Structure 1
Amino acid sequence: MTPAPVLPERSPFVWRFMARYLDRFVRRHMNALRLARWGVPARIEAGTPLVVYCNHPAWWDAAILIVIGDRLFSDRACYAPFDAAMLERYGIFRRIGAFPVDLESRRGATQFLAASRAILAGPGRALWITAQGRFSDSRARPLGLKPGIVRLPEIAPTTLFLPLALEYAFWEERGAEAFCAFGAPIPAVDLLALPRHERLARMETALTDTLDRLSADVISRDAGRFETLVSGRRGIGGVYDGWRRFASMLTGQRFESGHRPELQRALPRQEPET
C-alpha cells in the first residue's frame, strides 16, 4: 500500500517573520515592486487549489515571490520546490513551505510530484513554481518550461494554473525596479483535455504572452501603467542629497529625494506597519 504523501513543513509564524523581513529588504535595496494594472490576479475561490508558475530571471525571484505571495495571497499557505543542495544551505526556507527537489537525478521528479500531491490535496494552499528551473533572461524565447509541471493536472484535477511574469529594469532612480503581472488562470480540466506535450505548449504560450505584454509596459517607463506594491528607498544619498536637502530648507521647498518623484506617487498601496 502506497503511503499517503506528507505535507511539507511550514510555520505560519516563521512565514510572517520572513515575509516582513523580505518586504523591508526589497524596500531597502530596490526602488519599487510594481504590478501591471491589467495583471492583477483573478479572484479565486479559497477552496480551489492553486499553482502559480513563473519565469526565473534573477536571484531576486525568491524574495519577490514571497513578498507577492504575502501581499496578494495572504489567505493561502504558500509552498515551493527548492533545489535540495541550496535548501541545505538556507534551511530557514524549509520553515516557510520550501521542499527539497534533487535537480541532479530522476529522484527529483518523484520528490516534486509527491510533495505537490500533498499540497494540492487540501484547500487554502498555493504552490509556487519557477517553471524554467534555471535562470533565464525574461526576453529569451522559447521559455523552455520544465515538463514536470504538466503532470500536476493529473494529480490535482480541480487546480487552477496561474501564469506570473517577472521582469527587472532600471528606470530613473539608483535602485532597480521589479515588475510583475498575472495572466488568466487555466483550469486543470482544460489541460487534461490535451496530450502532455500540448499542455506544456499551452502553459508556455500563456506565460509568454503575459511576459510580452509586461515587457511592453516596462519599456514604456510609464508608471501610470502599474500599481506600486512596494516603494523603496530613493535618492543618491550622501553629500549630494544632503546638499539638496539643505537647499530645499533655504528656499522653503519640500525636499524630494528621488530623481523622478512622480514615479513613486503612482497610486501606491498602503505600506504595512513594521
Structure 2
Amino acid sequence: MTTPDLPPIPARHSRAGDALVYWGLVRSALWSHFDRVWIKLEGVPQQGPLIVYMNHPSWWDGYMAFVLNRVVLRSRFQGFAMMEEAQLRRYRFFSWSGAFSVHRQDARSAMRSVAYIARLLAERRARCLYIFPQGEITPNDRRPLEMFGGVAHIVRRCGGATLWPVALRYEFGGEQRPEAFIRAGAPHYAPATSDARTLTAELGERLTAACDLLRAEYIAGELGGYRTLLRGRAGVNRAFDAARFLPGKQQ
C-alpha cells in the first residue's frame, strides 16, 4: 500500500547499492557492448536543482544517464530518475540509484510521481532528475520530437530549476561494436513562473537542435569536439591487428 504523497515505488538511495549497480551492471555492460562512449559538452551545470532532459532512442539510454551522473557530474548531484512502474517492479535494485516509479497511463499516479520529485528537488538544490520527456523509445530521427509536459510541471512545483538538454545517438562505424555519442547542450534556467506550454515547446526545440547537431556532425565526420568518455572492450578487429604486430610475428 502506498502513502498519498509517494509513488508506488519511491527512490531508496544506497551508496553501496548504487556502486554495485554502476560497477557490477552498468559499467560492465557498456564495456562489453560498446567500442566507445563519446561526449561533447557545450557547458556543464554548476547549480541545482537540475533536470537533465534527454531523447530516448534506445534501451541503453538509462545507462548513459548513469555515466553522466558518475563521470561528467562526478556525483555532485544526488540523482533521481523516473522509471516505468512495471519495469521498476522487475528491477527494484535501480531504486538504490534513485529510480522511482511512474505510471503514465494513470493520471493520478503520474501526478503523484511529479509531486514527489518536485518536492525532493525543492528540498535540496544538489539534486538532479534524469528524464526522457518523449515517454517511450522513439526512432532517433523521427520529427517532430513529441514531448510530454511533465518537466514543465516539475519546474513549477519545485520553484524553478536548471535544465540541461542531452542528445544521444548510437552508430556502427569502423569497429565491431557500436559507438555511443552524447551531445550536451548549454544549461539554461527556467523559473517557476514559466508557462507550461511555452516551456515544453522550448524544451522540444532545444532538444531537437542538440539531436540534429549530433546527427549532422556524425554524418560529416566532424567529431573533433568529442572526447572519449569510456572505452569498451577491444573488438575482434582491434585484437587481430594488435596480434599482427606482436614481436616475432611476420607482417
Above 0.5 in TM-score? Answer: yes
**Distance change in 2, residues 1:94/1:173 (3 Å):** same
Number of the residue aligned with 2:63: 63
SS at match of 1:224: coil
Task: Tell me the amino acid that sits aligned with residue 126 of structure 1.
Answer: C
Residue correspondence of structure 1 range 204-215 to structure 2 within 5 A: 204-215=204-215
TM-score with structure 2 setting the length? 0.88
**Distance change in 2, residues 1:149/1:75 (3 Å):** same
Number of the residue aligned with 1:17: 20
The percentage of counterpart residues that share the same residue type is 27
Task: Tell me the amino acid that sits aligned with residue 160 of structure 2.
Answer: T
| Relative contact order higher in (CA < 8 Å, ≥ 6 apart) | 2
The alpha-carbon deviation at position 223 of structure 1 amounts to 4.3
The alpha-carbon deviation at position 230 of structure 1 amounts to 0.3
Number of the residue aligned with 1:256: none
SS at match of 2:105: coil
Instruction: Work out whether residues 6 and 112 of structure 2, in 8 Å CA contact, stay in contact via their aligned partners in 1.
Output: no
Residue correspondence of structure 1 range 232-247 to structure 2 within 5 A: 232-236=232-236, 241=239, 245-246=243-244
In the comparison of the two structures, how many residue pairs are matched?
244
Task: Tell me the amino acid that sits aligned with residue 159 of structure 2.
Answer: P
Task: Tell me the amino acid that sits aligned with residue 105 of structure 2.
Answer: E
Which of these two proteins has the greater Rg computed from alpha carbons?
Answer: 1
Number of the residue aligned with 1:132: 134
Task: Tell me the amino acid that sits aligned with residue 166 of structure 1.
Answer: L
Between the aligned partners of 1:5 and 1:87, the Cα distance in structure 2 is: 15
**Distance change in 2, residues 1:242/1:87 (3 Å):** same
Number of the residue aligned with 2:91: 90
**Distance change in 2, residues 1:155/1:71 (3 Å):** same
Task: Tell me the amino acid that sits aligned with residue 114 of structure 1.
Answer: A
2:143 is equivalent to residue 141 of structure 1: yes
Between the aligned partners of 2:135 and 2:97, the Cα distance in structure 1 is: 20
User: How big is each residue's C-alpha offset from its partner over 1:162-181, in whole Å with a ceiling of 9 and x where there is no partner?
Assistant: 11111111111010111111
**Distance change in 2, residues 1:252/1:126 (3 Å):** farther
User: How big is each residue's C-alpha offset from its partner over 1:29-55, in whole Å with a ceiling of 9 and x where there is no partner?
Assistant: 10011002xx2442413xx20000111
Instruction: Work out whether residues 51 and 160 of structure 1, in 8 Å CA contact, stay in contact via their aligned partners in 2.
Output: yes
Q: Which of 62-71 and 6-15 deviates more?
A: 6-15
2:105 is equivalent to residue 104 of structure 1: yes
2:31 is equivalent to residue 27 of structure 1: yes
Instruction: Work out whether residues 115 and 157 of structure 2, in 8 Å CA contact, stay in contact via their aligned partners in 1.
Output: no
The alpha-carbon deviation at position 4 of structure 1 amounts to 6.8
**Distance change in 2, residues 1:113/1:241 (3 Å):** closer
The alpha-carbon deviation at position 15 of structure 1 amounts to 1.3
SS at match of 2:224: helix
- Stretches of structure 2 that go unaligned for 5 or more consecutive residues are none
- Stretches of structure 1 that go unaligned for 5 or more consecutive residues are 254-274
The alpha-carbon deviation at position 114 of structure 1 amounts to 2.1
SS at match of 2:236: coil
Between the aligned partners of 2:101 and 2:151, the Cα distance in structure 1 is: 16
**Distance change in 2, residues 1:43/1:86 (3 Å):** closer
Compute the RMSD of aligned alpha carbons: 2.4
Instruction: Work out whether residues 119 and 157 of structure 2, in 8 Å CA contact, stay in contact via their aligned partners in 1.
Output: no
2:248 is equivalent to residue 250 of structure 1: yes
Number of the residue aligned with 2:187: 185
SS at match of 2:76: coil
Between the aligned partners of 2:208 and 2:33, the Cα distance in structure 1 is: 28
Between the aligned partners of 1:83 and 1:153, the Cα distance in structure 2 is: 21
Between the aligned partners of 1:128 and 1:188, the Cα distance in structure 2 is: 16
The alpha-carbon deviation at position 186 of structure 1 amounts to 2.3
